[in-house]
Amino acid sequence: MNTTPIPLSNPDVTRAEIDAVVAVLQTDRLSIGPRTEAFEAAVAARAGRKHGIAVNSGTSGLHLCVKALGLEPGQEVLTTPFSFVATTNCLLFERVKPVFVDIDPVSYNMDPAAMEAAVKPTTRGILPVEVFGNMAHFEAYERIAKKRGLLMLEDCCEALGGVLSGRAAGGFGECGVFAFYPNKQITTGEGGVIVTDRDDIRDLCRSLRNQGRATDAWPSHARLGYNYRMSEITAPLGETQVKRLDEILAKRRAAAALYADVLGDLSELHLPPMAQPASASWFVYVVRLADAFDQADRDAVIDALRKQGIGCSNYFVPIHTQPYIMEMLGTKAGDFPVTERIAARTIALPFFANLSLEQAQRVREALAGAIAARARRRT
């Protein structure tokens, strides 16, 4: 049996990226320089936004947006329990109260009707996520925000390059944040970029990421700030990756099509909707076991795959059931039934630009075997 490891994710870095990083090392500007500015402009352009502000992670970017939007302790923001914890954490950093809204079971994004029903006089904003790169409902979210006078912060960390009805991810609401951890569509190792059309948000985020300086050049500190700067060494990695974004997205789309092909006849599996517009940006490839299986089955399938060298994961554990969130917010299992039903059965499969047919077939064989073993236990 072939047990050569297949990673869960794998960055697509070429000679061009290596050369770009080496070139900046031969200069004497290793922070706050022209490469960072070029990267910011390139990301902003992909989002159809005027400004980009580079930071050292997606989480830092979300934190700065919460501050720049003027969200205050005790105010409430509607967000999804089915995401990476940073989506909620950025609110908690500022003692803003996350109010969770259950998801729709097809796109895994917040259900717009549930969102609208959750709006109260104390609600100040919404913080939606394109979960796994799916852009469903973003126009509806924007309509709700407009109608109810809410601020909208887009956590587009999973959706770079995605397009919905001609509008790019990062282009909804007041501002959005992309992330460039190595499992994202493109990477800077660590890093993020805030995008916005608003000059005041750009100015505040620039100041806040650089110790609250009034301007980058001057050691006069106008406000309490952070060191959330992106290194000038990583910026050219990102800049080169953005130049290759269309190529990388096409390869990821092809990898998703490969899975749809080889997994299509496994009736115990829900595949992610390929009917997403062709312009979707694939972040991860997450399959879901049929409702007849439970969380123990799912965990056993993940174990079986890992034993065969296949990287996979249980994306996501619902945020409202994370121990520290239950303690801080008083949430509990049972609060968001759709999220919990989905989250108990999802499996993120190995997914990266250069996924081969042979690898996809090995994943299929392992999955089919593990699912059959669990199905036999049930009968």
Interaction with ligand PLP in 155-174: which residues (CB under 6 A)? 155, 157-158
Closest to ligand PLP by CB, 90 or 263? 90
The three-class DSSP label of residue 215 is: strand
Point out which span in 27-35, 153-161, 297-305, 329-337 binds ligand PLP (CB under 6 A): 153-161
Q: Spell out, one character per residue from 111 to 150, where the chain touches ligand PLP: x when CB under 6 A holds, - when not.
A: ------------------x---------------------
Interaction with ligand PLP in 81-110: which residues (CB under 6 A)? 83-84, 86-87
Q: Given the structure tokens 């399959």, which residue do they identify? A: 287
Side-chain half-sphere exposure of 379, counting CA atoms within 13 A: 6
Q: How far is the CB of 316 from ligand PLP (least distance, A)?
A: 9
Q: How far is the CB of 247 from ligand PLP (least distance, A)?
A: 22
Q: How far is the CB of 14 from ligand PLP (least distance, A)?
A: 22
Give the integer Cα–Cα distance in Å for 103 and 132: 13
Which residue in the shown chain puts its C-beta closest to ligand PLP?
58
Q: How far is the CB of 284 from ligand PLP (least distance, A)?
A: 9
Question: 45 Cβ partners below 8 Å, 6+ apart?
Answer: none
Q: How far is the CB of 157 from ligand PLP (least distance, A)?
A: 4
Q: How far is the CB of 170 from ligand PLP (least distance, A)?
A: 13
- Six-digit token string for 305: 């795959």
Give the integer Cα–Cα distance in Å for 62 and 56: 11
- Six-digit token string for 330: 């008083």
Closest to ligand PLP by CB, 39 or 84? 84
Give the integer Cα–Cα distance in Å for 262 and 258: 6
Q: What is the distance in angstroms between the CA of the first residue and the CA of the last residue of the chain?
A: 28
Closest to ligand PLP by CB, 56 or 276? 56
Interaction with ligand PLP in 181-210: which residues (CB under 6 A)? 181, 192
Q: How far is the CB of 226 from ligand PLP (least distance, A)?
A: 14
Q: How far is the CB of 86 from ligand PLP (least distance, A)?
A: 4
Q: Can you list the positions of beta strands (E) in the chain?
A: 51-55, 76-79, 97-100, 123-127, 151-155, 163-164, 167-168, 175-179, 192-196, 213-215, 218-221, 269-270, 285-289, 346-349
Cis peptide before 316 (omega within 30 of 0): yes
Q: How far is the CB of 239 from ligand PLP (least distance, A)?
A: 17
Query: 43 to each of 92, 242, 363, how far by Cα in Å?
Result: 27, 7, 33
* Options 57, 109, 207, 241; binder of ligand PLP; rule CB under 6 A: 57
Give the integer Cα–Cα distance in Å for 230 and 14: 21
Interface with ligand PLP, residue 58, by CB under 6 A: yes
- Six-digit token string for 235: 């910026």
Total residues binding ligand PLP (CB under 6 A) = 14
Cβ atoms within 10 A of the Cβ of 222, count? 13
Closest to ligand PLP by CB, 102 or 268? 102
The sign of the torsion formed by the CA atoms of 231, 36, 93, 208 equals: positive
Point out which span in 15-23, 45-53, 78-86, 291-299 binds ligand PLP (CB under 6 A): 78-86
Instruction: Identify the CA nearest to 273 among candidates 139, 136, 111, 112.
Output: 136
Point out which span in 57-65, 112-120, 241-249, 254-262 binds ligand PLP (CB under 6 A): 57-65
Interaction with ligand PLP in 325-364: which residues (CB under 6 A)? none
Interface positions with ligand PLP (CB under 6 A): 57-59, 83-84, 86-87, 129, 155, 157-158, 179, 181, 192
